[in-house]
Amino acid sequence: MNLFDVYPLMNVTPVKAKDCVVWDDKGNEYLDLYGGHAVISIGHSHPHYIKRITGQLNNIGFYSNSVQNPLQVELGEKLGKLSGLENYSLFLCNSGAEANENALKLASFHTGKKRVIAFGKGFHGRTSAAVAVTDNSKIQAEVNKGHHSVILPLNDLVGVKNEIANGDVCAVIIEGIQGIGGIRVPEAGFLTELDKLCRETGTVLILDEIQSGYGRSGSFFAFEASNISPDIITTAKGMGNGFPVGGVLISPSFEASHGLLGTTFGGNYLACAASLAVLEVMEEQKLIENARNVGQYLMDELGKLDGISEVRGSGLMIGIEFEGSVAPIRKALLDEKRIFTGVSSTNVIRLLPPLTLTHEMASRFLESFSEVYKSPQKTL
Ligand SMILES: Cc1ncc(COP(=O)(O)O)c(C=O)c1O
């Protein structure tokens, strides 16, 4: 059976990885500043993570959600403690799109309304509800738009006010920092005003922290910079360091009832063991602080370079925008310098490394990057 060919692939076959380093089948060593798309939070193959997962597998890896699972309770407690959201409840699922799907469902149940406001260049996943709030015409064309949504420019508070005034809006969904849209941080004050407006109108505010959460921005969640309390927060990616797991963090104003939400695999023992290991390592190694420090160093140094249109982001979620295509720069980084990076649109390099990235590794990237992007034939 052939693989359904939906992914443009890099010409690299990784066979081994440790912390921020990946090796391919030819023995080449790569510095990983992409983290499998913001997924690797505590570094590849962390010994504590391996121990937690294999230890759990020796006991029980899976049983359905019809039994008591103390690991889910432990995970909820730990996540509440580290995020400061101890009064929220946790619903566990398997991916980011699924987390958003459940968040949108909850908002609709809670308000009895259907329409959702989302923002330009936002990305929320590939279920039909998530696609309906994702601003990407190519992705939207993949499915029939079954859900009602309106996509407004990021930071358009007046637009949000006008849409809510129609009386049919159940939720506003927004990324803490837009990822796929090119590492765009909402304007200062926008999230605060949005939160206020949602509160005044009984509209559910959903913070999609699937890419920007779990310490990546230098805070546990990126929205913390705005000092707000969203109604629902969605997480995935870094939550499992590669193990597929997603979470919906639900504020106390929502009431649970049996059968309201459900999933077969969500919150299984292995997923919980992986997620607990992530939080334990984040705490033990002070990875949020590291993301903040090393990220700031990278942003400062990148900001000194000529020929870049803009450097933006927070912590270890950084976008480097050029006027032209960054494809040649990324290719040279990969082929000549053996460094993985990500991309957004055609002209933004995205850095999403493990949160364990050291100053030394960051310097190695900066040195290689300066050599590569300055070479005139590679900038456009
Ligand atoms: C902000 C955001 N939300 C949702 C998703 C969807 O997550 P998943 O691919 O796990 O369904 C992504 C994936 O890139 C994302 O970046």
Question: Can you tell me the distance from the alpha carbon of 340 to that of 20, in angstroms, rounded to the nearest whole number?
Answer: 10
User: Ligand 1: which of 133, 142, 237 to mutate, judged by most atoms within 8 Å of the beta carbon?
Assistant: 237
User: Ligand 1: which of 95, 210, 232, 243 to mutate, judged by most atoms within 8 Å of the beta carbon?
Assistant: 210
Give 352 Cα–ligand 1 centroid separation in angstroms: 14
Pocket of ligand 1 (CB under 6 A): 95-97, 100, 123-125, 175, 179-180, 208, 210-211, 236
Which tokens go with 31?
A: 């510095």
> Does the predicted TM-score (pTM) go above 0.75?
yes
Domain extents in the chain: 49-284
What is the per-residue pLDDT for 68?
A: 95
Which tokens go with 75?
A: 């995970």
What is the per-residue pLDDT for 380?
A: 45
Domain topology for 49-284: Aspartate Aminotransferase; domain 2 (3.40.640)
The set of residues, in sequence order, having a beta carbon less than 8 Å from that of 117 and lying 6+ positions away, is: 149, 150, 151, 152, 160, 163, 164, 169, 171, 172, 173
pLDDT tens, N- to C-terminus, the chain (380 residues): 999 999 989 999 999 999 999 999 999 999 999 999 999 999 999 999 999 999 999 999 999 999 999 999 999 999 999 999 999 999 999 999 999 999 999 999 999 999 999 999 999 998 888 888 988 777 766 555 555 799 999 999 999 999 999 999 999 999 999 999 999 999 999 999 999 999 999 999 999 999 999 999 999 999 999 989 999 999 999 999 999 999 999 999 999 999 999 999 999 999 999 999 999 999 999 999 999 999 999 999 999 999 999 999 999 999 999 999 999 999 999 999 999 999 999 999 999 999 999 999 999 999 999 999 886 555 44
What is the per-residue pLDDT for 148?
A: 79
Specify the pairing of strand 246-250 against strand 310-314: unpaired
Give 337 Cα–ligand 1 centroid separation in angstroms: 29
